[in-house]
Structure 1
Amino acid sequence: MKDLPQLADQPSDQIRNVAMAILGCAPLGSMLQLIAGGIWKDPAYQNLKKFTVAVAEAVQTLQEEDHTFNLEEILLREETQPLLTRAFDAAARSYGERKLEALQTATVQGIFERRYSFDMSAMVFTLLDRITEGHLVILQAIFNAEAQRRPALTDHEVALLGIEPQRVPKSPEGQRAVHESINQTMSLNELILDDLKNMGLVEMKGDRPTGIVAPSADGLTHIQFRNRLSKKGRLVYEHIFSSCDELPTPRPAPSVSGGTIGEEG
C-alpha cells in the first residue's frame, strides 16, 4: 500500500475560496465536520484535503479559460450535491495517488465540465468506490494494448503484470520467497481481472481463427480469447482518465517456467 499523499504547499486564498464553495454544497456528516474543524485527525483527512484542493484548482482553471463558466449555477444544480457527496465519500476511503487522480478527473469531467449524463457519472462514482489501484493498472494495460493496435492481453499476460524479471537466489529459502511473491501477484491480478469482468468493464473476445475451428475440452480450437474493454469499460475509462494523461507502456511480461523467472545466481 502506498503512503497517503501529502500536500507540498498550502493552497492560495483563491483556490481555498473555490474549495469552500464546493464543500458548502456537499452535506458532510457530523464526524467529518469535526475532523474538518481540526478537533482530531483521521487517515482520511489528508486524502480529502488533497482531493478537494486538486478539484478546486481544476475548477479555477476552468473559470480562467472559459468566461461563460458559472460555478454558482453548477453548484445549484439538483444533481451536483449527490454526485459531490459520492465523490467525497469515495475519496475519504481511497489510498494511492492513481486512485485519487481518477476520482479527481471523474469529478471535474462529470460534474463541472458536464461531459457525461448524471446517470453515467453516478455509475462511475459507484464503481470507483469499489475500484483499487490494481484495477486501474489492469484497465490501463488493456487500454494501451488496444490503443497501440497490439494484440489485447490474454488472462496469463494480465496475471503477469507488475512482475519484474529478477535474479533468483541460490538458497531454497530465497527461491521459495521469490516464487511465493510471484504467485501472490499473479493470484491478485487474476482476482482483480475477474472483478473487472463481473463489473462489465472487461470482456473476452476471440481473435480471428488461425485454422479450422472445432470444439475441444478447452473451448474452441484455433481461436485465442483475449481481454478487451467493453463498451461500458471504455466509457468508464474515458470518464476517469484525462485524454492528456500519459499512459505508460506496460513492460513485456516475463516468462514463468516452473515458478522461476530471470537468471539464477
Structure 2
Amino acid sequence: MNMTSLPRPKTSPSAPVREVAMAILGCVPLGSMLQLVAGGIWKDPAFENLRKFTVTIAEEVHRLQQRDSSFDLEEVLSRDETQPLLTRAFDAAARSFGERKLEALRNATVQGVFERQYSFDMSAMVFTLLDRITEGHLVILQAIFNAEAQRRPALTDHEVALVGFEPQRLPKSPEGQKAVHASINQTMSLNELILDDLKNMGLVEVKGDRPTGIVAPSATGPTNIQFRNRLSKKGRLLYEHIFLI
C-alpha cells in the first residue's frame, strides 16, 4: 500500500467486498453506523469519508483473504482489542480531511488490526497520533524520511519550511509580487509550526552533524555545527504504520 491517492469507491462494491464491509461495520459502535446511514438522508461531511474509508478497508481485507488462505476474518473481529482499534480508526476517519490522511488511516488499520504486524498498544498509540496530525504533518514526515532513506543530509529547519514549494515566476506588478511573497511567508510559517508540533509529539528530533571546524558557544548555539531534523524512534514507528517502506 504505497502512499497514492485512495481509489474512488465503486458505486456498487462487489458481493465479497460488501460482505467484508458489513462484517467490519458489525464490530463498530452504533455511532459510526448511524453516521453512514444518515449520509443517505442528509449531507454529512463525515459521510463521504466514512463511506470511502469503509470500502477501501474492505477491499484491502478482501485482498488479504485472497492472498492468505489461513486468514480468518471472523476470528480477527472477535478479538477483544479489535473493536477499540476500529472505533479509533473510524472516529479519526470521520474527522479527517485529505486523501493522504485517509490513506494513512487505512494503512494503519490494515496493518495494525487485520495483518496484526504490531501490538495493541503500538497500534492504539498510532491511531491517537493520526487523529491529531494533518496532511501537512504527513508531507513533512515523508520529506524527512526520504532525505534519510536516500542518504542525503537530513533536512534543516529552513529546508523543512520550504517543503512543498514549487519555483514560480513573480508577477510584474508590485501588488502581485506582494501577494505571492505573503503566500510564501504564510506557507513557511505553517511548515515551521507543523515542524514544532512534530517535535513536541516526539516524532522528529534534532541532531547535530559532525563539526566542520572548531566548536564554540554563540548566541545562536554552537558554531560550526549544522543541526538537522530526523525521525525519532517514535516517528519511525508511526511512519512504518502509515507508509509502506
TM-score normalised by structure 2 residue count:
0.94
1:212 corresponds to which residue?
214
2:3 corresponds to: none
Instruction: Pick from 142, 150, 167 the counterpart of residue 140 of structure 1.
Output: 142
Which ranges of structure 2 fall in alignment gaps of 5 or more residues?
A: 1-5
Q: Which residue of 2 aligns with 1:70?
A: 72
TM superposition score normalised by structure 1:
0.87
Q: Find the aligned partners of 2:57 and 2:7 in 1 and give their Cα distance.
A: 15
Note the alpha carbon deviations across 1:119-142, whole angstroms, 9 max, x for none.
000000001011100000000000
Please provide the CA RMSD for this pair.
Answer: 1.5
* In 1: Cα distance, 2:239 partner to 2:164 partner: 20
Tell me by how many angstroms 1:5 deviates: 8.2
- CA distance in 2: counterparts of 1:189 and 1:34, whole angstroms: 33
Q: Which runs of structure 1 show a deviation greater than 4 angstroms over 4 or more consecutive aligned residues?
A: none
Question: Any stretches of 5+ residues in structure 1 without a counterpart?
Answer: 244-265
Q: Distance in 1 between matches of 2:12 and 2:150?
A: 39
Could you tell me whether the CA contact under 8 Å between 1:5 and 1:46 is conserved in 2? no
Distance 2:134 2:242 in 1: 13
Tell whether the 8 Å contact from 1:5 to 1:47 is kept in structure 2 after alignment. Answer: no
Tell me, yes or no, if structure 1 residue 230 matches structure 2 residue 232.
Answer: yes
CA drift at 1:8:
4.6
| Aligned partner letter, 1:104 | R
**How far is 1:53 from its partner?**
0.6
Residue 33 in structure 1 maps to residue 34 in structure 2: yes
- Write out per-residue CA displacement over residues 207-234 of structure 1, whole angstroms, 9 at most, x where no aligned residue: 0011111111111111100000000000
Matched residue type, 1:23 = L
Q: For residue 228 of structure 2, give the secondary structure of its aligned residue in structure 1.
A: strand
Residue 39 of structure 1, CA deviation: 2.7
CA distance in 1, matches of 2:193, 2:7: 26
One-letter identity of the residue aligned with 2:212: T
Q: State the alpha-carbon separation in 2 of the partners of residues 166 and 238 from structure 1.
A: 34
Shift of 1:36: 1.6
For the 8 Å contact 1:91–1:100, the answer to whether it is kept is yes
Per-residue CA shift, 1:38-72, capped at 9, x if unaligned?
Answer: 23231111110111111111111111111110100
Percent of aligned pairs with the same amino acid? 79
